[in-house]
Structures are given as structure tokens and as C-alpha cells.
Structure 1
Amino acid sequence: MCLDDARYALRVPEEPDGDVMVQASADSDVGIWVRGVTRRFGTAEALRGIDLSAPYGRITALVGPNGAGKTTLLLILATLLTPTAGQVRVAGLDPVADPDGVRSRTGWMPDALGVYEQLTPREYLAFFAEAYRIEPALVADRVAALLARVHLAEHADQPVHVLSRGQKQRLGLARALVHEPRVLLLDEPAAGLDPRSRSELRDLLRELAASGVAILVSSHILAELEELADRVVFVAEGRTVSEEEIAGVSRFVVSGWRVRALDDAALATALAARGIAPLGITAAGSDLPPMSDVDAAALLASLVGDGVPVIAFGPIGGQLEAAYLALNKERR
């Protein structure tokens, strides 16, 4: 188990000291609130003025290139680093003034999970339940429910060291949820997961958000984030570039589109009549030149109106990935 994991879990009291509670901004719907946060390591500036908010009941994606400061920010939110300057509130509390209070309300899943290899998953979760001072009478049932929730019940009494990387990731998520946090911080949670496990992770996180949990997730798997998140915060070089609703990221890009129809000849004729030459044709469909959402919607309507049996029509690649690339052109 890594040092940060131990520091995080083993200092959480049953109730925070009311004398050191610091209230967040006036918006009680925000689980995470960050303004002007900087962090220096000697002369190196990892964060240069990050702004971010993550509301309760929604999933916020944190997106940026390597070295953008994502993990540094998550460590600050998890109380494992202190900011050099700026304001931070997590579940209404200041992580610097009241780290124990923040930990009692926050679930933290780092990208590199440390585990006690000789414990079983059941023992591992029970250990953390005790560290979070959960009522002893509740521990056994809560641990069993979590193991079932992350599909590890059949491995509950095997040593952790026999688990695959993906299974350890799921165990890490169960550990982050053992005290029923109001805020969840996830750094690359899908790393090592197979497609089915990723789908189950998406379902679980959507369920948690629907129950009112504020979730902040960082990942390089942008296609997964696009399906999962409600909002996105783009960061680069330690600064916030943009904070958007997922539905609004298309404003950054004009995407190419792909259309597929049951009748290829009818599709080709209809596109030619509109002066549109496909950039390529594959089994996935005909790739069309870039166009706005409005123009794409009009084209689809006209194709259907002409009787072309369209069965698939959408942007090539994800909108989130396209927006990310558009905002990071200088890195190419």
C-alpha cells in the first residue's frame, strides 16, 4: 500500500471538529469549488491558477495533456497536497483548515492503487471501514454489498495479490465508497479494465451521481468520458482553458461526419445531387467533409426526406476528443 493511501485513510475521524469547518461558496449545490489555485514545487509551477467546480449529482470530467496539473489538483482536493495559493472547498470544507472533515466526506481513488497484498478483499475493505470509524455492526453487510457492487464477491476471500489489475481497480473503487462519501475523486479509474468492466463502471458512476454524489474524474480515455460525464473542464499548462457542458463542446470544432445506409447506391446519388463527395467509403459508412451540427442535421433530414434508408449518422470520432485536440493545437 502506498504512503499517500495510508495517510488518507487512517486519519479520518467519525465527525470533523466543528471549530475548523470552513463554508464553501454560497452555492450549496457545488461539491467541489476551486478558484485561482496555484502549486509550486521549488521553482516549478505545476498549477498556475486553476478554476473548477463540480456540482452534486453530476459527473465532471477533468481533461488535459500529461503535465497539465490534473493529478496535482486531485491530490490537493484529496488533502494530500496543500496549494501554494488560491481557494478550495470540498463538500463545503477547506482541505487545508479541515483535512479530516474533507476525508470523512470524500472518496479518493488514485491512478496507482496501493493494496495490502496478503489481505483478502473482504479483510481489506473491513480494514478501511474501521479506519473510517464505521459502526462495527454495519461493516460486514456494507463490505458484502460493496464487493457485490463491483463484481468481486466470488473473490472476497482470496488474497488480494491473486487479483488482476482490473480487479484491483474495482477493489480500489469499493474502498473509495466504503464510507458513503458525498464527493468522489477518480484518477484514471478505467485503467486496466476490460470493456465489460468499463461499462459496469459507467453504470455505477451514473447511479452514484443520480443519488447526489459530486464526481470528478480524470482520464485519457476521452471516448469513455464523453459517454459518462455531464460536464468537462479542460486544463493545460496548469491553467483552466474552458469549463463546459458536454453538450456544448461541439462549439470548439467542426467535425467530419459519417453516414451509413441500407442502399449504398441511393446514398451516393443523394450525396452527389447535393455536391458532397465522400472523403472515403468503408464498411463503417461514407466519411463526409467537416460541417457544423446545424448543417449535418439539415443534411440528415434531406436524405431521409428523399427516401434514403439511413441507419447511422454521426460525427467521426468523439466530440470531446475533437475539442481536446482543437484546444491543444500547439502540442502537435
Structure 2
Amino acid sequence: MTDAIDVRALHKRYGRRTALHALDLQVRPGSVFGLIGPNGAGKTTTLRTLLDVIRPSSGTVRVLGEDPRRGGPDLRRRIGYVPGELHLEGRASGHRLLSFYAEVSGMTGSKDAVLRTARELGDRLGVDLDRPVRTLSKGNKQKVGLIQAFMHRPELLILDEPTSGLDPLVQREFLAMVREVREAGQTVLLSSHVLSEIQQAADEVAVLAAGRIVAEGDVASLRLGSIRRVRVRVDDADAAEVSAALTALAGVEGVEAPGRGLLTATIEGAIDPFVKAISRFEVHELTVEEPDLEESVLRLYGDNREGDDREGGR
């Protein structure tokens, strides 16, 4: 079976700066593939190359079996796209704007059916499509962007930071939409710096750092969730003893005691030894959270960034 996306030895240079280094990427049809990495890693450059928004310096790119440089409008109609920086303005209502998009998006059914899907998605995401687009908040504009990408049921969805500006409840609905399109046999390439989003949605993941894929596989095998920040509050009298117990644990780093019985630390690996170490004390507060994705990537795979190999924050 032909891969939905097949990228081989992709290079992209901007003058003396190299944004992508010999990138290889294969995405199976009917899967959700997560592309993650810190800002400047090359995620947006990769996606724009797939869409022929920018041209590669060298290497080969195949999207839905075609070269994006030659696929033209027919290929683009088979793709739903949400850019990382979405700009929607104008006096037209959300309905009018989506009606226009329905005419150019390669509908799999009638225009009425596509717009009916758009209205259903609008209800699910909680956006008023009767309002002029220019009056919508950033989050509601993002919802309109999601609707235009999903409504014509494209074979491939390319989503660049699609939940930017959305509240947690809408993010949950978005993840449900991603699961539904996967079940329908559509393919999703999801770029994000939100680790939890990738953990919930993706079948496979590639970690991009400084224009290179430094790891690839499923989320569990990449151990991206194995780094956690912890915050624990105990009685003042116990704080020094707890601090000593945590400092002695393998995989626990950066133990700090700001005061009033509060301690903070970073754990890499299993959390069970930490839980057992504090279980003999009276714990008044305990918070465990994942660090941001950049910290996870750089701690697990090293800081591969080179001074000139940056992509202007994208």
C-alpha cells in the first residue's frame, strides 16, 4: 500500500541556514501521525513543503502518491489544512466563508451535504457561524479554520498547531473529531508542541529537533511521558527529611525547598519510588505534571540545535 506521505532525504535551506536536514518521513494511510518538537525545530517548514507552499532544496516528497509540485489544485482539494498562523478577516459571516470554501475544496458529495457537515461541526465546537468572521475571537476563528479543513472529508488532514487558542473542552472535542476521521479511513498529520495532545491522538510520532528527526515510533516507546515535575507539601518539621529522601532517589533531580514545607523536583523514569519515599510522611499537597515538550525532547534526546540551524521560531 502506498504511503499517504513519503518524504526522502528532504533538505530545505534558507541562504546559509539549513532548516531541514536529510528528513525521512513516512505516514501510513488511515493513521494519525504526530510531528512534535520545540519551536524552531522545522515542523512548519516540513508541512509547508508537503503542501507546495515552499519548495525543497533537495530530496523527494510524495503526498497521496503525487509530487506536490505537480499535483496542483486537484491534489490540494484532497487535503484539509489548518496553518499554524491562521488569519481570517472580512465582513462575511462564518457560513458565507465556509460556503466559499465548499466550492473550492473538492467536495466528496453535494455542496449542501458539505455545508450541513460544517453546521454540525460548528455546533460541536460551539462557534456562532452567523457572526461576521472579523468579529470572532482568536479561538472562534480557529474553530472556523478547523471546520473548513474537516468539512469536505479530505483523504489527508495536515494540521499545524490546530488547538491554538482553544479551551480544554473544545480541545477534547477536536480529539474526538480526529478519532472519527481515522475510523473513516482518513489520514492525519498533526503537528503540535502539546505532548498530551499527541499522546491521546497519535498512532505514531516523530520527534523533530533542529531540522532532524531524532526519534520515531509510538509515544510509549519514545518515553516522552517519563519526565515529570512534582510539587509536594508536608509539615515544616518533615521538609528536610523529605528533601534528603528524595535527593537519594535515582532519577530525581533538582530538589528544592522554597519553604513552608514545600518541595519541588523533577523525576525521570518510574514514579513509584518517589511515591513510596513520601508515603511515610503526612502529605498535605501533591501535584504531578509533565514539563513542556521542549524540555522533554531536549532532556531525552539532547540539545541538537546548532546556532545557525534555526527556522525563525517555526
TM-score higher than 0.5 here? yes
Counterparts of 1:100-111 in structure 2, within 5 Å, are 100-111=73-84
User: How many Å apart are 1:43 and its aligned residue?
Assistant: 3.5
Residue identity matched to 1:240 = I
Identity of aligned residues (%): 30
Instruction: Pick from 284, 290, 296 the counterpart of residue 317 of structure 1.
Output: 290
Sort the Cα spacing of 1:128 and 1:86 in 2 relative to 1 into closer, same or farther, 3 A.
same
Q: What is the distance in 2 between the residues matched to 1:316 and 1:113? A: 30
2:303 paired with 1:329: yes
Is the contact between residue 60 and residue 215 of structure 1 (CA under 8 Å) also seen in structure 2? Answer: yes
User: How many Å apart are 1:59 and its aligned residue?
Assistant: 2.0
- Report which stretch shifted further, 313-322 or 63-72: 313-322
User: How many Å apart are 1:89 and its aligned residue?
Assistant: 1.4
Q: What is the distance in 2 between the residues matched to 1:86 and 1:155? A: 44
User: Secondary structure in 2 aligned to 1:96?
Assistant: helix
- Greater relative contact order (Cα 8 A, min sep 6): structure 1 or 2? 2
2:122 paired with 1:147: no
Larger strand share, 1 or 2: 2
Deviations 1:64-85 (A, max 9, x none): 2332221111111112122121
Instruction: Pick from 52, 60, 64 the counterpart of residue 91 of structure 1.
Output: 64
Deviations 1:182-238 (A, max 9, x none): 111111111111222112112211222222222112222233333332322111222
Q: What is the distance in 1 between the residues matched to 2:86 and 2:118? A: 17
User: How many Å apart are 1:97 and its aligned residue?
Assistant: 2.5
Is the contact between residue 49 and residue 56 of structure 2 (CA under 8 Å) also seen in structure 1? Answer: yes
How many residue pairs are counted as aligned between the two chains? 292
Q: What is the distance in 2 between the residues matched to 1:286 and 1:57? A: 45
What residue number does 1:70 align with? 43
Deviations 1:95-140 (A, max 9, x none): 12223342122111102223351111111111111113538x8223
Sort the Cα spacing of 1:67 and 1:287 in 2 relative to 1 into closer, same or farther, 3 A.
closer
Instruction: Pick from 188, 198, 201 the counterpart of residue 171 of structure 2.
Output: 198
User: How many Å apart are 1:322 and its aligned residue?
Assistant: 5.4
Instruction: Pick from 181, 185, 196 the counterpart of residue 208 of structure 1.
Output: 181
What residue number does 1:228 align with? 201
Gaps of 5+ in 2: 280-285, 306-314
Gaps of 5+ in 1: 1-26, 307-312
Is the contact between residue 209 and residue 304 of structure 2 (CA under 8 Å) also seen in structure 1? Answer: no
User: Secondary structure in 2 aligned to 1:190?
Assistant: coil
- Report which stretch shifted further, 112-121 or 81-90: 112-121
Q: What is the distance in 2 between the residues matched to 1:52 and 1:73? A: 10
Residue identity matched to 1:224 = E
TM-score when scaled to structure 1? Answer: 0.71
User: Secondary structure in 1 aligned to 2:30?
Assistant: coil
Sort the Cα spacing of 1:165 and 1:148 in 2 relative to 1 into closer, same or farther, 3 A.
same
Deviations 1:5-54 (A, max 9, x none): xxxxxxxxxxxxxxxxxxxxxx43x3211111112233432222111122
What residue number does 2:131 align with? 158
Q: What is the distance in 1 between the residues matched to 2:105 and 2:228? A: 50
Q: What is the distance in 2 between the residues matched to 1:46 and 1:330? A: 13
User: Secondary structure in 1 aligned to 2:35?
Assistant: strand
Is the contact between residue 60 and residue 230 of structure 1 (CA under 8 Å) also seen in structure 2? Answer: yes
Q: What is the distance in 2 between the residues matched to 1:131 and 1:122? A: 15
Q: What is the distance in 1 between the residues matched to 2:107 and 2:43? A: 31
2:215 paired with 1:242: yes
User: Secondary structure in 1 aligned to 2:159?
Assistant: strand
TM-score when scaled to structure 2? Answer: 0.75
